[in-house]
């Protein structure tokens, strides 16, 4: 992977972008050579996406300039960027689910039979050829919504290739992929680079970056803090660059003292929105005073499992009981009364009403209980008193209890949800991605609260796509793969690699390695399990 | 001070919208009078609006001489003012209720365009039940008839609520269909079943003692009290009770409501029924004032409720004020017609323009460089988002 | 066949079917259905243009009404200016009518432009925008109509008179009558429906429109100007609302009355949903709704014979008004049933009703 | 639309003799013999320019005011609940005569008249029914003599069945197919009366004739206002071989007459001479079944100025002087009306005048049975 040094294909100089309250990019310099895979590394919120949005014309920089082949250019918008040979695979897929693969690829760059009508036949031919060139067979007629995320990722890449991109930006393309799918994508990227394309690869997974990149640029708080070559660096070095200090962010979780089972799940089956069974007979129990973590690549049924456990989705079969009481198919209300608390993964969708005052959000799940209501009437004094207490206790940074929740920062919003859910009388606590998108300080705070709750005797179910979080907190870890729990291991002694393999293949050891090899040869879009 | 400033922040955009609508309305009056070949009379709108005000409040600001030239002359005749104000509140009373019928729906993220049908059904039921209890003592007769009308309206609000909750049929379209259906059904019932012998046209029997007692002036009936009472009751319900909290939550974020253990289905049905109840009450007041239900009964109060609710930013107090404004326009319109000879439809145009400026509030805010609160109820976003969606 | 008519219930159904066949093939029920469906279908095309690109339009009624008014007034004025001009042999086009139609289309586009501005630029609530358009259209046309008090008229477009031998053909003659013995705007509907259906699913414009209605951000990131496309589609959709208005005052009738759209814009909206946002489907919905209306008119004036007729006239004798109104209510009832999902759930374009904010803009 | 059409009592029997004042010739010059009067008109819900009763009543009042050298104003009612307030506006402004239009406004008119004995009230399409105290009687026993109890209020009612009957004779005589049609707006009394008279008149010429009838919509604001549907109904009738169409549907009827014109068939107008009010369609309007609303209102209002005002319910029919109902001029279609047809019409009119011919027989003119 050595690279002859040549003139840069792209240069970004002194890029600065301010958003209200943050300097997302602060004088960033970046240089990309032809045929290079260049990784951008940085924590959440470091400014990676912002920089790429500027390159792609989605945001205008406050200062700085962009040079393509040594010529300064102004990129007015995505159309302009595409015309200049820049394509981008966004952090969140930019695919239209109800359209076919071909239509998604064509969109904006249509192959025309005449000035009005599309030439779908020609387009199909080109798409199939292109796919073959990079090692995959794809049916252009399939609806994107029926594809697995891995295949959607490939469609995104095809979209870029179809536009003859010279510079391809991939913003966290591997976040939702299994290690196997990641490998496949890496093969494609490598082949692209070999053909002379420049690739900007964004990630905060260190080992991936070390595997694929020719050069690595690390961004911290909007500034470039260093550029490295993989052969001259290692994970520790990169981590320190990224975070700015020698990090070993592990909470001292102490000993757990599990007691009797508080949450029992028996052969639970759940169907997703598309009518497919995505939880296929899951059984486990969580005991009072322990943290039971569920690891798994996103999309393996965890979401449906959590929804079924919290009453947001009705399971098709199986039983759930809380503290010995059967609560199968009980709604959220009944579950709360049975002693369950739930921190939802999507706080904007479920956890908060952004247009309501903070104080109302702090009683969102207790509004009809004493002392917050007397009969049918709200008790505003009690609500306000509790809000004051919660703000102090949970360190929620807010001007007052009456500002709307939408004006709080993400971390403080999450603290409000945690304050509300942790403060009620509970026996069982379900945490879905409790620290997603939060800064380090908030994560630490919430982790400490979780451990405290466990020590107070709560049964805690922790679901997270962040394997590190699961390993850090859990007393026992279950791995979910294609709707099933494929293994339950002891938390403190669990091996990261072992769990990673389980997540990727559902198998362990040699069997898993064999599965990985077999999977490499699978072609054709796999419909999501 | 801060309370005043807050009030100003709430009211400034509606006020600017009203002023702009009146200005644009006056341009229309002048332009159209020119278009039909009258001589240029820049004072025509002034005369028109002044007579509108006089008809609504009894307050006279201008004196128009024989040549049609106005001069400033402030006068107030107490008798006239009392009558005018009574008419204004009497006209406002049903509008308050139909305004609530739309506004409470907004709170739950529902757009109730079915006011018209709910008013008709409420009126019809009130007339039938009123006639049945016509010989009971007045308090009983009135209470029973009003309650029946309210329930009738509630039932007619329940239907689109249930349709939305269980089949996902969006209330914007289903209520429009139900409005037309109400006409067909009720006219049929009056003609075939409830028609009385004697009068030359199809109508139901007289409501007798169920007729709303007049409390003050010529037409200040009990209906005015009911409407006035509905405002604080609704306010209390929406902002002080747990049910109100549920309604507002489901309107602001249906998913969060589900997560919090509320049942959006139940709330949608309940809220639509509540909306229907208000509209039914409005219809009952109209019909128990008239004394019977004529087969051809028709009224615009259901539709006017939309304007009232939007203008009053879906807040009970705002709705009261908006209803008084529209009621005043309705009460003052006759005097405007005989003074200025302007087609009465100008009132509709002005009301439409007010809504237009409210809808474009962002533009107003920018143009006048003011800081003010959002006028359009945020829950309306939920209305648009759920449009054409499946079940909740 | 006749024998079967005696079977309880099934006999009624068969008699009804026989009546339908009879009515469709021997009376002018078919052309009438197409005519009545014209403003509904055109309104629905306007709705599809809007909603496929992510804009809810409940202001179709107001757009139609405005167009009907403007088209009529302009045609009348032109007609007064040049009363002598000879109508064309086919369809009876006169300069007044042509200019009137263009004016109606212009009015439809203008009101649509207001809707687009409110929804796209101002990012006002789309449902309020539609409501405002309906209210203002009703008030303003009523105001001006009363002020102007039009007495004249530019006449109407004529229906085409298909050759007799076609119409007289056995069995299929009614099809020719349905599609050919109608005026130019009615006839054009079929063409528009087919063209729009093809364009929506086969052309670049259609692909982009559907993408913008489903996932505007995705379209934005491949360089499609979402706001511009929405503007263009909403304004072009106004053409159809304009034609629907022109149909009301220049083709089917020749005068303007306040509120003469009589809920047709709203039924059009239901047709959009019924047709699952496809032109052909919406056209089918319009035909279905209006067939029920035309059939209601037909049954009342020419009731079926046999048991069914006896049954119906029994009801009519007992409850004449309810009987009557049951037929009048049919399109509304049908719409409601359809909405309630008897024909299956219909899902709107995902982004409909949500204003689009470009990334990085605040 | 016309929120409610006009009405007449189901039996146009001898309620009161026809008004003497009706014979007053309308004049355009203010007459010195008359005191100038201020006339106010409160219309029914709907639009003023309905080419029907709101408009005609208003024109009559205007003509009367001008004839006396007085003034005239009109208030268009927006909602049923506004009747009383609209009347009060004129009372407050010291008007001399207040004309109210439509049967629904009758109760409020009677109450206002009782309370304001110095003002004259004219109620179009209003049968006055009061109890012994002079209060509107909800039981319809009508025990009180309205003429003495409320001496300042005249209720005008028309016998629409009579012009309907004459129109029926014309229609049946002109029909070659043996099928004729009538399109109603909303089945309000006036519409039903016209229709029943039409049917009876037609059957008097041809007992086997088929008379198609249909109401447009039970909601008057649609029923009298939806010309597209009017045209659709007419189209259906034409498809069933109807060759004469009578419109009783206000503005909806414009669509009916258009359909008749386009099919080269014969149309019959309603209320006023529609060959005049709808000049575009004059070529196919053979005649119109008229009730002379404008003239009647003008005469009654003028009677106030000449102090010959008559109170109580007054029925205006063929026997009024001059006749308050009838067929309008045939204009360019006079050739269609053969002497034989004219003879039939003359005989019928004589019978109607003499009271020997009941236009509501054999089919009754009631609202029920529609
Ligand atoms: N449109 C915006 N308005 C306001 N602030 C923004 C906007 N977009 C990004 N930011 C802020 O800019 C900063 C950088 O965000 P950016 O999305 O570039 O981070 P990132 O490095 O891509 O993070 P992640 O790994 O989470 O994707 C953050 O603090 C973010 O909150
Ligand atoms: N819609 C809004 N209205 C008003 N202020 C806002 C809004 N969104 C964000 N802010 C303010 O901008 C600041 C930055 O918000 P942001 O969510 O980017 O915080 P953050 O730096 O990511 O913090 P955290 O780590 O807690 O998520 C916050 O202090 C918040 O109060
Ligand atoms: Mg990012
Ligand atoms: Mg944040």
- Judge whether residue D19 has pLDDT over 80: no
Collapsing DSSP states into helix, strand and coil, what is residue D182? strand
pLDDT of residue B248: 95
Query: Where do the domains of chain A lie, and which CATH numbers do they carry?
Result: 10-243 (3.40.50.300), 261-339+426-522 (3.40.50.300), 351-424 (no CATH)
Model pLDDT for residues A275-328, shown as the tens digit of each residue: 788 899 999 999 999 999 998 877 788 989 999 999 999 999 999 999 889 999
Distance (angstroms) between ligand 4 centre and the Cα of A410 equals 5
- Judge whether residue A513 has pLDDT over 70: no
Considering only CA atoms, which of D242, D272, D249 is closest in space to residue D180?
D242
pLDDT of residue B388: 57
Give the Cα separation of B162 and B171 in Å (integer): 10
Count of C-beta atoms within a 10 Å radius of residue B66:
5
Q: In C82-183, where does DSSP find H-type helix?
A: 95-116, 126-148, 164-167, 173-180
Yes or no: say if B173 and B150 are a contact pair by the CB < 8 Å rule.
no
Give nearest CA residue, ligand 1 atom 29. A45
Tokens of A221: 């708080």
Yes or no: say if A88 and A171 are a contact pair by the CB < 8 Å rule.
yes
> Which of B240, B245, B390 is the best residue to mutate to test the A interface, defined by the most A CB atoms within 10 Å of its own CB?
B245
Give the Cα separation of A168 and A37 in Å (integer): 9
Q: What is the pTM of this model?
A: 0.87
Q: What percent of chain B has pLDDT over 70?
A: 97
Yes or no: say if A415 and A357 are a contact pair by the CB < 8 Å rule.
no
Tokens of C81: 């200016």
Tell whether ligand 1 has an atom less than 6 A from the beta carbon of residue A46: yes
Yes or no: say if A198 and A9 are a contact pair by the CB < 8 Å rule.
yes
- CA distances to A6, A212, A222, B39, C44 from A32, rounded to whole Å, are 10, 15, 18, 75, 52
pLDDT interval class at A227 (50, 70, 90): very high
Q: Strand order of the sheet with strand A215-220?
A: A86-89, A167-171, A198-203, A37-42, A215-220, A223-228
Yes or no: say if D86 and D77 are a contact pair by the CB < 8 Å rule.
yes
Give the Cα separation of B17 and D211 in Å (integer): 55
Model pLDDT for residues A103-116, shown as the tens digit of each residue: 999 999 898 989 99
Tell whether ligand 2 has an atom less than 6 A from the beta carbon of residue A411: yes
Please give all residues whose CB falls under 5 A of ion ligand 4, grouped by chain where several chains appear. Answer: A 410
- Strand ranges (DSSP E) for chain D? 38-42, 71-75, 97-101, 120-124, 153-158, 179-184, 210-215, 244-248, 266-271, 285-291, 312-316, 325-327
Please report whether residue B253 resides in a domain. yes
Tokens of A300: 């393996």
- Judge whether residue A365 has pLDDT over 80: yes
Q: Strand order of the sheet with strand A22-32?
A: A22-32, A10-19, A63-68, A71-73
Alpha-carbon torsion D52, D53, D54, D56, what sign? positive
Distance (angstroms) between ligand 2 centre and the Cα of A58 equals 21
Tokens of D315: 């029925």
Tokens of B258: 């589900």
- Judge whether residue B391 has pLDDT over 70: no
Query: Where do the domains of chain C lie, and which CATH numbers do they carry?
Result: 22-306+313-341 (1.10.3470)
Give the Cα separation of D200 and D214 in Å (integer): 16
- How far does Cα D167 stand from its chain's mean position? 14
pLDDT of residue C337: 87
Which among D73, D76, D88 has the least Cβ separation from residue B83? D88
Please report whether residue B354 resides in a domain. no
Distance (angstroms) between ligand 2 centre and the Cα of A407 equals 7
Please report whether residue B340 resides in a domain. no
Yes or no: say if D175 and D210 are a contact pair by the CB < 8 Å rule.
no
Q: What percent of chain D has pLDDT over 70?
A: 89
Considering only CA atoms, which of B299, B309, B302 is closest in space to residue B355?
B309
pLDDT of residue B132: 97
How are beta strands A476-481 and A291-295 bridged, if at all?
parallel
pLDDT of residue A503: 79
The per-residue pLDDT of chain B, averaged, comes to: 89
A2-16, A165-179, A229-243, D18-32: least confident range: D18-32
A50-59, A283-292, D306-315, D360-369: least confident range: D360-369
Mean pLDDT (whole number) for D335-359: 94
pLDDT of residue B207: 95
Whether residue C292 lies within 8 A of chain B, CB to CB, comes out as: no
Tokens of B307: 């304007």
Give the Cα separation of D190 and D4 in Å (integer): 9
The per-residue pLDDT of chain A, averaged, comes to: 86
Nearest-Cα distance to chain C for A97, in Å, is 8
Q: Which residues does chain C have within 8 Å of residue D258's beta carbon, measured at their own beta carbons?
A: 156, 253-254
Q: Contact A355/B262, CB-based, under 8 Å?
A: no
Domain extent for B107: 93-327
The per-residue pLDDT of chain D, averaged, comes to: 86
Mean pLDDT (whole number) for A143-169: 87
pLDDT of residue A512: 61
Interface partners of chain D (CB pairs < 8 Å, 3 or more) are B, C
How are beta strands B220-221 and B214-216 bridged, if at all?
antiparallel
A528 half-sphere exposure, CB direction, 13 A CA radius: 28
Q: Which residues does chain D have within 8 Å of residue B184's beta carbon, measured at their own beta carbons?
A: 218
Which residues contact residue D259 at a Cβ distance below 8 angstroms, ignoring those fewer than 6 apart?
D230, D231, D234, D235, D238, D245
Whether residue C324 lies within 8 A of chain B, CB to CB, comes out as: yes
How are beta strands D312-316 and D38-42 bridged, if at all?
unpaired
Give the Cα separation of A416 and A432 in Å (integer): 15
Interface partners of chain C (CB pairs < 8 Å, 3 or more) are A, B, D
Considering only CA atoms, which of C106, B110, C249 is closest in space to residue D227?
C249
Tell whether ligand 1 has an atom less than 6 A from the beta carbon of residue A410: no
Q: Contact B383/C336, CB-based, under 8 Å?
A: no
Distance (angstroms) between ligand 1 centre and the Cα of A200 equals 18
Considering only CA atoms, which of B386, B388, B377, B392 is closest in space to residue B107?
B377
Mean pLDDT (whole number) for B5-29: 90
Between D89 and C49, name the one with better pLDDT: C49
Backbone angle region of A477, left / alpha / beta, with phi > 0 → left and psi within -120 to 50 → alpha: beta
pLDDT of residue D138: 82
- Judge whether residue A185 has pLDDT over 80: yes
Between A200 and A92, name the one with better pLDDT: A200
- Calculate the CA dihedral of residues D10, D16, D21, D25 and round it to 10 degrees: 50
Give the Cα separation of A339 and A262 in Å (integer): 10
pLDDT interval class at D353 (50, 70, 90): very high
Alpha-carbon torsion D303, D307, D313, D315, what sign? negative
Residue D215 phi/psi, 5° resolution? -85, 145
- Judge whether residue A232 has pLDDT over 50: yes
pLDDT of residue A220: 87
Q: Which atom of ligand 1 is nearest to the CA of C359?
A: 1
Give the Cα separation of D99 and D313 in Å (integer): 14
Tokens of A148: 């697995």
Residue B93 phi/psi, 5° resolution? -55, -55
Give the Cα separation of B275 and B278 in Å (integer): 5
Q: Which ligand is nearest to the Cα of residue A408, counting in written order?
A: 2
Number of domains comprising chain B: 1
Residue A271 phi/psi, 5° resolution? -105, 145
- CA distances to B133, B201, D12, D16 from D140, rounded to whole Å, are 18, 12, 16, 18
pLDDT of residue A529: 33
Please report whether residue B234 resides in a domain. yes
Residue B214 phi/psi, 5° resolution? -85, 125
Determine the longest span between alpha carbons in chain D, in angstroms. 58
Give the Cα separation of A451 and A473 in Å (integer): 8
Counting every residue written for chain A, the total comes to 529
pLDDT of residue C146: 82
Tell whether ligand 1 has an atom less than 6 A from the beta carbon of residue A242: no
Tokens of B29: 């009056």
Whether cis (ω within 30° of 0) applies to the bond prior to A12 is no
Cα end-to-end distance, chain A, whole Å? 36
Q: pLDDT tens digits for chain C (362 residues)?
A: 556 666 667 777 777 888 888 777 777 788 888 999 999 999 999 999 999 999 999 999 999 999 999 999 999 999 999 888 888 888 888 999 999 999 999 999 999 999 999 999 998 888 889 989 999 999 999 999 888 878 777 878 888 877 878 777 777 777 777 788 888 999 999 999 999 999 999 999 999 999 999 999 999 999 899 999 999 999 999 999 999 999 999 998 888 888 889 889 988 988 998 888 999 999 999 999 899 888 888 888 888 887 888 888 888 889 988 998 998 898 889 888 887 875 556 678 888 888 888 765 54
Question: DSSP for B226-285?
Answer: HHHHHHHHHHHHHHHBHHHHHHHHHHH-HHHHHHTT--HHHHHHHHHHHHHHHHHHHHHH
Ligand 2, from A409, A442, A443: best to mutate by most atoms within 8 Å of Cβ? Answer: A409
Q: What angle do CA B144, B147, B148 make, to 5 degrees?
A: 85
Backbone angle region of B37, left / alpha / beta, with phi > 0 → left and psi within -120 to 50 → alpha: left
Give the Cα separation of B326 and B311 in Å (integer): 10
Q: Is the pair B, D in contact (3+ CB pairs within 8 Å)? A: yes
Q: Which atom of ligand 1 is nearest to the CA of A437?
A: 26
Tell whether ligand 1 has an atom less than 6 A from the beta carbon of residue A19: yes
Give the Cα separation of A84 and A467 in Å (integer): 39
pLDDT of residue C15: 78
Which among C56, C132, C324 has the least Cβ separation from residue B356? C132
Element (H, E) at D306: none
Mean pLDDT (whole number) for A426-438: 87
Q: What is the complex's ipTM, to 2 decimals?
A: 0.85
Tokens of A239: 């981590």
Mean pLDDT (whole number) for A345-360: 91
Yes or no: say if B389 and B26 are a contact pair by the CB < 8 Å rule.
no
Exposure class string for A492-529: b at 16+ Cβ within 10 A, else e: eebeeeebbbbbbbbbbeeebeebbeebeeeeebeebe
- Judge whether residue D16 has pLDDT over 70: no
Interface partners of chain B (CB pairs < 8 Å, 3 or more) are A, C, D
- Judge whether residue A522 has pLDDT over 50: no
Residue with tokens 């003052």: B332
Tokens of B59: 């307050």
Alpha-carbon torsion A295, A297, A301, A307, what sign? positive
Model pLDDT for residues D231-273, shown as the tens digit of each residue: 999 998 998 899 999 999 988 898 999 899 988 999 999 988 9
Q: What percent of chain B has pLDDT over 90?
A: 56
């Amino acid at each position: 992977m050595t690279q002859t040094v040549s003139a840069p294909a792209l240069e970004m100089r002194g890029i600065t972008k301010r958003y209200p309250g943050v300097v997302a990019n602060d004088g960033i310099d970046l240089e990309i050579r032809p045929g290079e895979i260049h990784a951008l590394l940085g924590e959440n919120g470091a400014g990676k996406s912002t920089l790429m949005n500027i390159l792609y014309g989605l945001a205008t920089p406050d200062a700085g300039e962009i040079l393509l082949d040594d010529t300064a250019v102004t990129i007015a918008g995505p159309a302009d960027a595409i015309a200049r040979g820049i394509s981008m695979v966004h952090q969140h897929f930019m695919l239209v689910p109800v359209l076919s693969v071909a239509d998604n690829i064509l969109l904006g760059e249509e192959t025309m039979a005449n000035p009005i009508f599309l030439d779908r036949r020609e387009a199909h031919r080109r798409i199939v050829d292109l796919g073959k060139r990079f090692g995959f067979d794809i049916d252009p007629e399939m609806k994107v919504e029926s594809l697995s995320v891995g295949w959607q990722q490939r469609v995104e890449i095809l979209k870029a290739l179809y536009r003859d991109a010279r510079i391809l930006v991939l913003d966290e393309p591997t976040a939702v992929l299994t290690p196997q799918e990641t490998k496949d994508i890496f093969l494609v990227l490598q082949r692209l680079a070999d053909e002379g394309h420049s690739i900007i690869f964004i990630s905060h997974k260190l080992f991936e970056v070390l595997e694929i990149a020719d050069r690595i640029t690390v961004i911290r708080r909007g500034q470039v803090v260093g550029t490295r070559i993989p052969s001259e660096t290692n994970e520790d070095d990169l981590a320190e660059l990224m975070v700015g200090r020698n990090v070993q962010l592990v909470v001292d979780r102490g000993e757990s003292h599990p007691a009797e089972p508080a949450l029992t799940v028996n052969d639970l089956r759940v169907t997703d929105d598309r009518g497919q069974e995505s939880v296929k007979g899951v059984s486990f129990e969580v005991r009072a005073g322990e943290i039971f973590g569920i690891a798994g690549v996103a999309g393996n049924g965890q979401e449906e499992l959590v929804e079924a456990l919290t009453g947001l989705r009705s399971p098709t079969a199986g039983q759930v009981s809380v503290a010995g009481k059967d609560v199968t198919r009980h709604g959220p209300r009944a579950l709360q009364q049975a002693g369950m608390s739930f921190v939802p993964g999507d706080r904007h969708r479920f956890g908060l009403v952004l247009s309501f005052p903070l104080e109302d959000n702090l009683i969102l799940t207790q509004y009809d209980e004493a002392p917050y209501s007397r009969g049918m009437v709200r008790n505003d004094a009690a609500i306000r008193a509790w809000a004051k207490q919660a703000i102090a206790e949970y360190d929620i940074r807010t001007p007052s209890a009456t500002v709307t929740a939408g004006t709080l920062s993400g971390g403080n919003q999450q603290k409000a949800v945690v304050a509300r859910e942790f403060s009620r009388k509970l026996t069982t606590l379900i945490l879905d991605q409790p620290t997603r998108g939060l800064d380090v300080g908030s994560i630490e705070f919430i982790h400490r609260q979780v451990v405290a709750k466990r020590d107070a005797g709560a049964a805690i179910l922790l679901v997270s796509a962040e394997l590190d979080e699961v390993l850090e907190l859990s007393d026992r870890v279950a791995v979910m793969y294609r709707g099933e729990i494929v293994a339950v291991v002891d938390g403190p002694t669990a091996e990261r690699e072992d769990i990673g393999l389980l997540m990727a293949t559902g198998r362990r050891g040699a069997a898993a390695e064999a599965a990985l090899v077999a999977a490499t040869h699978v072609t054709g879009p796999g419909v999501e399990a | 001070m801060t309370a005043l400033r807050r009030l100003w922040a709430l009211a400034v955009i509606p006020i600017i919208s009203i002023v702009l609508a009146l200005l644009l309305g006056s341009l229309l009056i002048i332009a159209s009078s020119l278009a039909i070949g009258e001589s240029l009379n820049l004072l025509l709108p002034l005369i028109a609006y002044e007579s509108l005000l006089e008809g609504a409040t009894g307050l006279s600001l201008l004196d128009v001489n024989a040549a049609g030239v106005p001069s400033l002359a402030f006068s107030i005749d107490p008798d006239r003012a009392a009558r005018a104000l009574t008419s204004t509140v009497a006209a406002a009373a049903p509008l308050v209720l139909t305004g609530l019928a739309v506004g409470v729906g907004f709170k739950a993220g529902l757009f109730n365009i079915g006011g018209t049908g709910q008013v008709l059904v409420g009126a019809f039921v009130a007339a039938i039940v009123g006639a049945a209890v016509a010989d009971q003592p007045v308090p009983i007769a009135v209470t029973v008839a009003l309650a029946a009308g309210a329930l009738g309206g509630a039932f007619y609000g329940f239907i689109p609520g249930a349709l939305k909750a269980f089949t996902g049929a969006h209330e914007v379209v289903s209520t429009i269909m139900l409005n037309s259906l109400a006409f067909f059904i009720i006219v049929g019932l009056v003609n075939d079943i409830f028609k009385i012998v004697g009068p030359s046209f199809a109508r139901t029997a007289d409501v007798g003692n169920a007729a709303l007692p007049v409390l003050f002036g010529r037409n200040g009936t009990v209906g005015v009290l009911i409407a006035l009472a509905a405002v604080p009751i609704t306010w209390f319900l929406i902002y002080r009770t747990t049910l109100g909290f549920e309604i507002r939550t489901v309107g602001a974020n249906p998913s969060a409501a589900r997560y919090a253990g509320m049942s959006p289905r139940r709330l949608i049905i309940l809220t639509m029924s509540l909306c229907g109840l208000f509209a039914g009450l409005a219809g009952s007041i109209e019909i128990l004032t008239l004394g019977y239900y004529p087969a051809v009964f028709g009224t615009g109060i259901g539709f006017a409720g939309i304007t009232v609710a939007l203008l009053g930013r879906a807040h009970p107090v705002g709705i009261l004020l908006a209803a008084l404004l529209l009621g005043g326009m309705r009460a003052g319109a006759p005097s405007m017609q005989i003074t200025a000879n302007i087609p009465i439809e100008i009132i509709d145009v002005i009301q439409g323009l007010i809504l237009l400026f409210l809808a474009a509030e962002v533009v107003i805010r920018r143009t006048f460089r003011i800081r003010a609160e959002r006028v359009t109820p945020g829950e309306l976003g939920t209305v648009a988002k759920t449009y054409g969606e499946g079940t909740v | 066949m006749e024998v079967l008519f005696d079977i309880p219930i099934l006999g009624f159904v068969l008699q009804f079917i026989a009546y339908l066949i009879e009515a469709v093939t021997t009376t002018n029920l078919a052309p009438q259905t197409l005519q009545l469906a014209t403003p509904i279908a055109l309104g629905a095309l306007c709705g599809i243009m809007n909603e496929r690109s992510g804009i809810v339009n409940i202001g179709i009624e107001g757009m139609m009404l405005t167009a009907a008014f403007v088209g009529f007034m302009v045609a009348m004025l032109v007609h007064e200016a040049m009363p002598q001009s000879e109508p064309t042999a086919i369809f009876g086009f006169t300069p007044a009518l042509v200019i009137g139609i263009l004016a109606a289309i212009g009015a439809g586009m203008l009101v649509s432009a207001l809707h687009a501005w409110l929804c796209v630029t101002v990012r006002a609530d789309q449902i309020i925008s539609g409501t405002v358009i309906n209210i203002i259209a009703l008030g303003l046309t009523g105001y001006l109509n009363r002020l102007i008090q039009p007495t004249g008229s530019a006449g109407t477009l004529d229906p085409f008179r298909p050759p007799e031998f076609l119409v007289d053909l056995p069995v299929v003659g009614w099809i020719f009558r349905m599609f050919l013995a109608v005026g130019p705007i009615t006839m054009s509907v079929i063409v528009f429906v087919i063209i729009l259906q093809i364009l929506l699913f086969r052309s670049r414009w259609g692909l982009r429109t559907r993408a913008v209605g489903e996932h505007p951000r995705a379209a934005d990131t491949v360089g499609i100007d979402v706001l511009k496309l929405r503007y263009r589609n909403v304004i072009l959709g106004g053409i159809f609302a304009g034609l629907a208005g022109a149909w009301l005052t220049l083709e089917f009738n020749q005068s303007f009355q306040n509120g003469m759209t009589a809920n047709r814009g709203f039924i059009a909206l239901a047709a959009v949903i019924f047709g699952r946002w496809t032109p052909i489907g919406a056209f089918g919905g319009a035909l279905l709704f209006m067939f029920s209306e035309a059939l209601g008119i037909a049954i009342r004036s020419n009731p079926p014979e046999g048991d069914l007729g006896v049954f119906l006239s029994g009801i009519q004798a007992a409850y004449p008004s309810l009987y009557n109104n049951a037929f009048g209510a049919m399109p509304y009832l049908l719409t409601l049933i359809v909405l309630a999902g008897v024909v299956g759930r219909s899902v709107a374009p995902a982004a409909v009703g949500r204003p689009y904010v470009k990334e990085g803009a605040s | 639309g016309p929120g409610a059409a006009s009405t007449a009592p189901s039996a146009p029997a001898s309620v009161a003799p026809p008004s003497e004042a009706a014979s007053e010739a309308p004049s355009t010059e203010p007459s010195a013999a008359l005191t100038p009067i201020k006339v106010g008109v409160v219309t029914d819900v709907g639009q003023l320019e309905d080419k029907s009763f709101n408009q005609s009543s208003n024109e009559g009042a205007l003509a009367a005011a001008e004839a006396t050298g007085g003034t005239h104003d009109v208030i268009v009612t927006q909602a049923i609940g506004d009747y009383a307030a609209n009347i009060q506006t004129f009372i407050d402004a010291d008007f001399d005569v207040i004309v109210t239009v439509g049967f629904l406004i009758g109760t409020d008119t009677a109450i206002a008249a009782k309370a304001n004995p110095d003002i004259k009230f004219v109620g179009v399409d209003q049968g006055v029914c009061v109890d012994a105290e002079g209060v509107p009687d909800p039981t319809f026993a009508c025990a009180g003599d309205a003429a003495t109890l409320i001496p300042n209020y005249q209720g005008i009612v028309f016998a629409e069945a009579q012009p309907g009957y004459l129109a029926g004779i014309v229609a049946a005589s002109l029909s070659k197919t043996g099928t004729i049609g009538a399109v109603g707006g909303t089945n309000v009394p006036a519409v039903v009366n016209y229709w029943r008279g039409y049917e009876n008149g037609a059957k008097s010429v041809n007992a086997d004739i088929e008379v198609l009838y249909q109401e447009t919509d039970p909601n008057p604001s649609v029923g009298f206002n939806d010309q597209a549907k009017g045209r659709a109904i007419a189209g259906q009738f034409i498809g069933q071989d109807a060759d004469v169409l009578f419109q009783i549907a206000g503005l909806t009827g414009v669509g009916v007459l258009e359909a008749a014109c386009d099919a080269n068939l014969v149309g019959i107008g309603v209320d006023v001479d529609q060959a005049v009010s709808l000049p575009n369609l004059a070529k196919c309007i053979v005649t119109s079944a008229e009730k002379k609303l404008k003239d009647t209102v003008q005469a009654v209002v003028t009677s106030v100025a000449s102090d010959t005002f008559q109170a109580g319910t007054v029925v205006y029919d063929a026997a009024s002087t001059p006749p308050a109902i009838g067929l309008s001029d045939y204009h360019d279609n006079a050739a269609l009306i053969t002497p034989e047809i004219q003879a039939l019409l003359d005989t019928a009119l004589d019978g109607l005048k003499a009271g020997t011919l009941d236009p509501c027989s054999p089919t009754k003119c009631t609202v029920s049975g529609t």
